[in-house]
Amino acid sequence: MAPFKYQSRAREFNEAYTKQVADDLERVREGMIAPRNMQRFSHGQRWRTKPVVLGDETGELTVHSFGIESPFEDIVSHDLVRFVLARRKLASGLSDELARTLYQAISQSTERSGNIATATPDQAPVESYLDAMEKIEFAIEESGEVSLPTTYMDPQRWAEIVAQLNDPSSEHHARWERIKAEKSLRARQRESERLAKFPAAWAEEYICE
């Protein structure tokens, strides 16, 4: 005899609960990594990416894990709020693990390339930010618009930096506008050079009758 009744119901609950956690985690993950930049693996000989000719390295999977406990008393008392809180805690814990891995990978990459801006005690945060922007090349979105680098830092400090960058009377404002103009121009030039390598879809020799 089975130790618990309603085995099928329990299985349905577990499947639905797991899907809710996965949906919560996916929303958080998309806030860190654009969906178009994600890779999905299908099982083969190895769980790893293929390096290309640009000098990148072979990437491998990193396992994230996070555990929660549900006291038996919460189950007996049918306290459904506890299940919701546990679900949120599980998604939050896994997203923290993802963020830690992501920032660690970025840190290792920048250390190898030397693309690092070091802040000194006597340097204002906005100056450190601008020093970093000087070393970063901007990209072009699929829409054709220039994409500015995404910044992750303490919200209060970031708000202070943005205020100084947007203040026309600040000396940092002029430097930021110059950086944006120069980097945007270079980004558009690189994109034009990239597109020039591909023939137009409507070119006569590619039209099939």
- Over residues 82-100, the pLDDT tens digits come to 888 888 888 888 888 888 8
Q: Higher-confidence residue: 186 or 37?
A: 186
pTM to 2 decimal places: 0.58
Q: Where are the domains of the chain?
A: 7-113, 125-196
pLDDT of 5 higher than 80: no
Confidence of residue 168 (pLDDT cuts 50, 70, 90): very high
User: DSSP H helical segments within the chain, as ranges?
Assistant: 7-32, 72-76, 80-113, 125-134, 155-165, 171-196
Q: Higher-confidence residue: 18 or 36?
A: 18
Give the number of other Cβ atoms within 10 Å of residue 134's Cβ.
12
